[in-house]
Chains A and B, each alone.
Chain A
Amino acid sequence: MNDQNAPTRSIDNSTAMAAVQRSLGKRNRAERRFRFFGIASIGIALALLMVLFWTIISSALPAFTETSIDLEITLPADEIDPQGSGDPAVIGDANFPKYIKRAMYSLFPEVTKRRDKKQLAGLISPGAAFKLREHAMSDPSLVGTTIVLRVPMSDDVDQFKKGQITADIPESDRRISDKQIAWVQTLTDMGLVHQGFNKTFFTAGDSREPELAGIWGAIMGSIFTMIITLALSFPIGVASAVYLEEFAPKNRLSDIIEVNINNLAAVPSIVFGLLGLAVFLNFAGLPRSAPLVGGMVLALMTLPTVIIASRAALKSVPPSIREAALGLGASKAQAVAHHVVPLALPGMLTGAIIGMARALGETAPLLMIGMVAFIVDFPGNFTDPATVLPVQIYLWADAPERAFIERSSATTLVLLCFLIMMNGLAVILRKRFERRW
């Protein structure tokens, strides 16, 4: 403090302090307001996250139950297997839809009009006949007897039982008629209708009938695709990261490669799809819709992610490790291969898993290479036509039947579960092996 200046200062200070005091309330309010904006925006973002999850979970849950009926079906021996050969091939040729219909008609003998009969038979899924056929073929001794089989009901009945279609919508606006509702009520009162866990959803392939559609085919497709993606992007990504971080001379070419990788990471994914279409399908003539091509396209897309993560992992290994190895007479390559890479491996794996998780949820490039087809069979190898989980979500979200929308949500939930597991694995890896030097 300078003594001479002190008096003048204090006068200035007092007027300044008064001005400050006067504006202080306003300024503090502005401070609180600003802080509130910050909290509010975080609140909005988190609320949107909640809404997103809540919407998906609440619309997905109904898809995990299905409605089925215990139907008493007579399998007339004279129609199915007149010779009594017991040969499954002969039995397989029988007209099973007819027996299902008969079973339904016998429950409601008063229904006689052709149109009503058609509506009555419509309560049962077309899948019922396939189930009956399989059942009869696996046990030929059933032919000629009357069996009770639990068969799926149609998706409209299913939606009605779950309360997605209610009776107070005008009849013309819903897919299930008043008569059908009455029949379903009667069947429910008779105790024949069951609602249980929807196993079909996890074991079947795609289907035109929602009640027969499942995601197993898409899961297989995703697995095949991810195997290719991992097998290509991890080794290549790690190799280029090791080169760029440990061996690359500081020259023009290395700079170009580096800029390139950063730019590739920001190229829209659909452009990789165009590349796949032009190069892999058109130029190299690889099969359309195949997990092989899908995996290759996704590998190109995840490569920058893997390289960037691997380089970060290599960078975090302290130079003293390399120097110690070199000091003991190891060559540069030995130091890297025996010491640096093993220490960086957990970080590289974490990066690869995060890249895989992104590839697993990617849809757009796969639309370009035809993995968007309607495929009923399960893919058996890398070149079979297949679809993947996110594409299945896209396909079903477009379908007119409400039951498909529900299954689309359920598929989303399954996909999110896979993603959470992968990210959880990455977190565990990081926590368990992360080293602080």
Chain B
Amino acid sequence: MSHSVLFLILAALTFAGFFMGRKRAVAQAGGVIRSLHSRPNYYGYLVALWCGIPAFALLLLWVGLESNVVDTLLAASLPDSLTAGMDPASLSLLLNDIHNLAAGVATSRDINEAMAGAADHYNDLRETGLLALAVVALGVAIGGILVGSKLIHPDLRARAKVERAINRALFICSLLAIMITVGIVMSLLFESIRFFGKVSPFDFLFGLEWSPQTALRADQVGSSGAFGALPLLAGTMLISFIAMCVAAPIGLLSAIYLVEYAPRKVRAVVKPLLEILAGIPTVVYGFFAALTAAPFIRDVGTSLGLSVSSESALAAGAVMGIMIIPFVSSLSDDVINAVPQSMRDGSYGLGATQSETILRVVLPAALPGIVGSMLLAVSRAIGETMIVVMAAGLAANLTANPLEAVTTVTVQIVTLLVGDQEFDSAKTLAAFALGLLLFCITLALNVVALMIVNRYREQYE
């Protein structure tokens, strides 16, 4: 019997519980449904809840804990001849081999008697565990049905009970949003603290050199890894600045045109077309930046007599700018739309032309909202990963020249973490410190931007 079979049996029992509860309620009422407090279905739901919740919780718990429990038992039962003088790492390798042997897959070491015995023991343990689980879970399920059915009485407020349970389940679902945030903060913070145990936060935040090499030997060349994040931040800012130089004017002017000038039909066509730009996956932009935009910019630069790196910040930034145009334009669109028509009418009444009205009345009134939407776009640019991974460089240059290659925070996170990692080297942990930095910067930008936008919205509502 496997987990999925058990799952199906429990599901079937839950269904059975529903029908039994319903039938029992009707029987108790002597067929006079009016005499029941709730409609018969609610008695069914109640029994099903009694049956299903504990049993499925048990199943989930075991699925989560099984490997840990079985491994602990297995490790305790291993003969000393196998485990003599082993540290935890090689012990886990040994356990892994036993798992493979038990599953009939090739192992990395010679199979001896003790190993074979351990593998058999492992299989036994798992089977026993599953059997015990099946017995307990089925017992709990059936017990739940019995308890639930016992409760049924025409005066039982079944609906209220069921609704309270549903309400609680919905509440737990909405708590998940908080749990995700807490999970992000905790996981980043936890690993970052370990990182800051090896590298001081001051060096990390204000260091001018980034070369995340950790030495295998003490006397190795370049053995002193440097973890100064400033060049990465500078690179991120440079690329985001270039992106905003592209996106801000194009996005804002398109928004102004679409709101103030464009006939309704043009707007209905152009707006969704612009939003296509936001729907294109970022990896596609990265592909475009690396294979079309970067060579193009390099060729143009070369023909002008400039030396342009083939991974120039300009290429990555410009393509990122294209991606951000729709963010700027649709956010500014909302903001400009929210400016009351009476302000425009007042300006027209004083004889201003349409462009004068826009530049001197509408835009100043919408300015806070526009600043907010720009900040949101900047935070988007800072957190963007694929474009820079594919089109920006890897070397951390502290430069403001857009024609040179720079690297960004997100690029370094990806390079540090793709491939095999060990979780105690400063190199891997540095990625989490960078992640924390990125999270804090974007969070601050978002909070400020949302605050500005909300305050502005209240002003005109």
Q: How far is the CA of A405 from the CA of B290 in the complex (A)?
A: 11
Confirm or deny: A421 has a beta carbon within 8 angstroms of a beta carbon on chain B.
Answer: no
- Residues of B contacting A267 with CB < 8 Å? 184, 383, 439, 442-443
Confirm or deny: B175 has a beta carbon within 8 angstroms of a beta carbon on chain A.
Answer: yes
Q: How far is the CB of A159 from chain B (nearest CB, A)?
A: 16
Out of A20, A42, A360, which one reaches B351, CB within 8 Å? A20
Confirm or deny: B32 has a beta carbon within 8 angstroms of a beta carbon on chain A.
Answer: no
Kindly report which residue of chain B lies nearest to residue A398, judged by CB atoms.
Answer: B390
Binary contact track A232-264/B, C-beta < 8 Å → 1, others 0 = 000110011011100110000000110011111
Interface residues contributed by chain B, number (CB under 8 Å): 87
Given contacts A52-B322, A267-B184, A275-B187, contact A331 B159 (CB under 8 A): yes
Binding site for B on A (CB under 8 A): 20, 27-28, 30-31, 33-35, 37-42, 44-46, 48-49, 52, 55-56, 59, 235-236, 239-240, 242-244, 247-248, 256-257, 260-264, 266-272, 274-275, 277-279, 282-285, 300, 303-304, 307, 331-333, 357-358, 360-364, 367-368, 372, 390-391, 393-394, 397-398, 405, 408-409, 412, 415-416, 419, 423
Given contacts A263-B443, A268-B438, A269-B385, contact A42 B283 (CB under 8 A): no
Kindly report which residue of chain A lies nearest to residue B450, judged by CB atoms.
Answer: A262
B367-386 residues with Cβ-Cβ distance < 8 A to A are: 376, 379-380, 382-386
- Residues of B contacting A408 with CB < 8 Å? 287
Q: Are A274 and B435 in contact (CB under 8 A)?
A: yes
Kindly report which residue of chain A lies nearest to residue B447, judged by CB atoms.
Answer: A263
Q: Are B171 and A243 in contact (CB under 8 A)?
A: yes
Given contacts A30-B355, A304-B177, contact A278 B190 (CB under 8 A): yes
Q: How far is the CA of A300 from the CA of B178 in the complex (A)?
A: 11
Q: How far is the CA of A52 from the CA of B288 in the complex (A)?
A: 7
Q: How far is the CB of A46 from chain B (nearest CB, A)?
A: 6
How many Cβ-Cβ contacts under 8 Å join chain A to chain B? Answer: 244
Q: How far is the CA of A45 from the CA of B258 in the complex (A)?
A: 13
Given contacts A55-B292, A303-B177, contact A42 B281 (CB under 8 A): no
What would 27 A/B residue contacts be, using CB atoms closer than 8 Å? Answer: A41-B253, A45-B274, A48-B277, A48-B325, A52-B288, A236-B173, A239-B173, A239-B174, A240-B170, A256-B178, A257-B178, A260-B177, A267-B383, A274-B184, A274-B432, A275-B184, A275-B188, A277-B417, A307-B177, A331-B159, A333-B166, A364-B282, A367-B389, A368-B418, A416-B280, A416-B284, A423-B279
Q: Are B167 and A30 in contact (CB under 8 A)?
A: no
Q: Are B181 and A271 in contact (CB under 8 A)?
A: no
Given contacts A274-B435, A333-B167, A393-B287, contact A260 B181 (CB under 8 A): yes
Kindly report which residue of chain A lies nearest to residue B446, judged by CB atoms.
Answer: A266
Q: How far is the CA of A394 from the CA of B291 in the complex (A)?
A: 12
Is the contact region of chain B dominated by helix, strand, or loop, or is it mixed? helix
Q: Are B170 and A361 in contact (CB under 8 A)?
A: no
Q: How far is the CA of A258 from the CA of B359 in the complex (A)?
A: 35
Q: Are B170 and A364 in contact (CB under 8 A)?
A: no
Q: How far is the CA of A372 from the CA of B421 in the complex (A)?
A: 14
Q: How far is the CA of A361 from the CA of B285 in the complex (A)?
A: 11
Kindly report which residue of chain A lies nearest to residue B383, judged by CB atoms.
Answer: A268
Q: How far is the CA of A247 from the CA of B164 in the complex (A)?
A: 11
Confirm or deny: B414 has a beta carbon within 8 angstroms of a beta carbon on chain A.
Answer: yes
Binary contact track B430-446/A, C-beta < 8 Å → 1, others 0 = 01100100110011001
- Residues of B contacting A248 with CB < 8 Å? 174
Given contacts A364-B414, A409-B287, contact A243 B173 (CB under 8 A): yes
Q: How far is the CA of A322 from the CA of B357 in the complex (A)?
A: 44
* 7 nearest A-B pairs in the assembled complex, by CB-CB distance: A268-B383, A361-B281, A38-B257, A240-B174, A278-B187, A243-B170, A364-B385
Residue of A55, A56, A268, A278 with highest tally of chain B CB at under 10 A: A268
Confirm or deny: B169 has a beta carbon within 8 angstroms of a beta carbon on chain A.
Answer: yes
Q: How far is the CA of A235 from the CA of B287 in the complex (A)?
A: 34
Q: How far is the CA of A372 from the CA of B322 in the complex (A)?
A: 26
Binary contact track B32-67/A, C-beta < 8 Å → 1, others 0 = 000000000000000000000000000000001001
- Residues of A contacting B270 with CB < 8 Å? 42, 46
Kindly report which residue of chain A lies nearest to residue B277, judged by CB atoms.
Answer: A49
- Residues of B contacting A394 with CB < 8 Å? 283, 286-287, 386, 389-390
- Residues of A contacting B379 with CB < 8 Å? 266
Q: Are A236 and B359 in contact (CB under 8 A)?
A: no
Q: Are A31 and B385 in contact (CB under 8 A)?
A: no
Q: Are A34 and B249 in contact (CB under 8 A)?
A: no
Confirm or deny: B163 has a beta carbon within 8 angstroms of a beta carbon on chain A.
Answer: yes
Q: Are B283 and A363 in contact (CB under 8 A)?
A: yes
Q: Are A263 and B169 in contact (CB under 8 A)?
A: no
- Residues of B contacting A362 with CB < 8 Å? 281-282
Q: How far is the CB of B250 from chain A (nearest CB, A)?
A: 4
Q: How far is the CA of A240 from the CA of B171 in the complex (A)?
A: 7
